[in-house]
A = this chain, B = another copy of it.
Amino acid sequence: MKRILFVPIFLFTLFATAQTEVESTIKKIYQTALVDGQSYAWLEHLSNQIGGRLSGSLNAQRAVEWGKEELDALGLDKVWLQPVMVPKWIRGTFEYANIETSPGNTINVNVCALGGSVATPLAGIRAEVVEVKSFEELSALGADKIKGKIVFYNRPMQADLVNTFTAYSGCVDQRYSGAEEAAKLGAVGVIVRSMNLRLDDYPHTGSMSYGDLPLRKRIPAAAISTNDAELLSSMLSLNGKLKFYLKQNCKNLPDVQSYNVIGEIKGSTYPEEIMVVGGHLDSWDLGDGSHDDGAGIVQSMEVLRLMKKIGYQPKRTLRVVLYMNEENGQRGASKYTEIAQQQKEKHVFALESDAGGFTPRGFSIDTTPEKLKNIQAWAPYFEPYLIHLFVKGGSGADVAPLKTDTNVLAGLRPDSQRYFDYHHASNDTFDAINKRELELGAATMAAMVYLMDHFKL
């Protein structure tokens, strides 16, 4: 009896000790992030002193230089800029729209050009409007009814989906391919309902593509605020012949030189195994990109700072990548992956934060079923911090290209309810950030990096 009893007690003691070390390291991470964090002050600077930083803009270059300086100041083992050519699109000097309910009788509405759109002619375009909710509806109407018209895509985000990103996925085809599809049927422009679950006055921009339409066939595309989408739809139901006027002078320019900003702490035991944390340094130009993705940038930087602050020396190389050009090209991610492959780097883990600086709920994880199961077994370590989601799913646009058969990719999953209130709109500003929510996200990322490094998966 004695002997039989001895074994489990001994094992339990070992296990308990091991747990305590892991638990106390994670506790130290959270405490440091909440009491002595840097992420909020960093974001204040990035948002308020730099601001919106669309790829190719002078502000994007200022952000690159700021990122490099701040990483340099952390005393990492290596900090460098990785050159990458990025597209340059500029909003131009005006964007303007109105509904003409009868000749001379107009109501101004809130619009913004979609990223990548061509300009209207200098005099603008004025045309009748055809409202549709889907490409099926568009194609059923056919060229006869579309030719010479402005197509108004008005399928709203589905309010009953708890995950707002799912609702976004269900709508974003209108923004991304709406102009291409409408142009094929002879439309002269498109207006897209903003990807926003709220009814408000902010138009939300975002990337769009003309596919392989030749230049002369490309038509201007703009987003309209949800309030004005409702207004336009309601007016159309009373007067199907009303006209819409749109004027914008945005422009695509030649590619320009930019950079990913990279810093790393060399691994003590397995330096050739690389763990990446990252977000994207570029943003849209309307707000200051605090949630998208300033939050992810400062959280990723904070992961490395926290490790140094608590005196944890990673066994694997821990790298932060501030990706350029996620929003309209993902050139930074492509370049980073290309170089990594050239240099035969082994990325064992990559974690992206690009879903807003809200209270973290967990992770979406892309790996083998066995590794997913092993990670899910860590859930108890996260319980004190109310982190409960460890679901199989996509990681993020910037780290996804690093996928191999064996590595682990993940995306931080914050609470998603408020994200699309701000996404790509002029109200994505620093005041929409809560300090503690931001800090909890950084700590949650750092805890996951620590666990990945501490345990062998």
Query: Which chain A residues have a beta carbon within 8 Å of chain B's beta carbons?
Result: 30-31, 34-35, 159-160, 162, 164, 197-198, 359, 361, 384-386, 388-389, 415, 417-418, 421, 434-437, 440
By the criterion CB–CB under 8 Å, are B417 and A162 in contact?
no
For the A-B complex with A361-B386, A415-B415 known, give 11 more contacts whose Cβ atoms are closer than 8 Å.
A30-B160, A34-B160, A35-B159, A35-B160, A162-B385, A359-B415, A359-B417, A386-B389, A417-B434, A417-B437, A421-B434
Residues of B within 8 A of A417 (CB): 359, 434, 436-437, 440
Distance of A388 from chain B, by nearest CB (Å): 4
Partner of A31, one of B30, B160, B198, B437: B160
By the criterion CB–CB under 8 Å, are B421 and A162 in contact?
no
By the criterion CB–CB under 8 Å, are B440 and A386 in contact?
no
Residues of B within 8 A of A198 (CB): 435
Q: List 25 A-B contacts (CB under 8 A).
A: A30-B162, A31-B160, A35-B159, A35-B160, A159-B436, A162-B384, A162-B385, A162-B386, A162-B440, A197-B436, A359-B359, A359-B415, A359-B417, A361-B386, A386-B388, A386-B389, A388-B388, A415-B415, A417-B434, A417-B437, A417-B440, A418-B434, A418-B436, A418-B437, A421-B434
Residues of B within 8 A of A197 (CB): 436
Distance of A435 from chain B, by nearest CB (Å): 7
Q: In the complex the two chains form, what is the Cα distance from A212 to B456 in whole Å?
A: 62
Distance of A237 from chain B, by nearest CB (Å): 21
Copies of this chain, whole number: 2
Q: In the complex the two chains form, what is the Cα distance from A415 to B361 in whole Å?
A: 10
Residues of B within 8 A of A361 (CB): 386
Residues of B within 8 A of A415 (CB): 359, 415
Residues of B within 8 A of A164 (CB): 436
Distance of A384 from chain B, by nearest CB (Å): 7
Q: In the complex the two chains form, what is the Cα distance from A162 to B198 in whole Å?
A: 29
Q: In the complex the two chains form, what is the Cα distance from A31 to B162 in whole Å?
A: 9
Report which residue of A386, A389, A415, A437 has the largest number of chain B beta carbons within 10 angstroms of its beta carbon.
A386
Residues of B within 8 A of A436 (CB): 159, 164, 197, 417-418
By the criterion CB–CB under 8 Å, are B440 and A159 in contact?
no
Complex: chain B residue closest to A437, CB-CB: B417
Complex: chain B residue closest to A434, CB-CB: B418
Distance of A159 from chain B, by nearest CB (Å): 5
Q: In the complex the two chains form, what is the Cα distance from A59 to B163 in whole Å?
A: 38
Q: In the complex the two chains form, what is the Cα distance from A440 to B163 in whole Å?
A: 12
Residues of B within 8 A of A421 (CB): 434
7 tightest Cβ-Cβ pairs between the two chains A and B = A388-B388, A31-B160, A417-B436, A34-B160, A34-B159, A35-B160, A417-B437
Residues of B within 8 A of A440 (CB): 162, 417
Complex: chain B residue closest to A361, CB-CB: B386
Q: In the complex the two chains form, what is the Cα distance from A164 to B439 in whole Å?
A: 14
Residues of B within 8 A of A30 (CB): 160, 162
Distance of A165 from chain B, by nearest CB (Å): 13
Complex: chain B residue closest to A33, CB-CB: B160
Distance of A449 from chain B, by nearest CB (Å): 19
Residues of B within 8 A of A31 (CB): 160
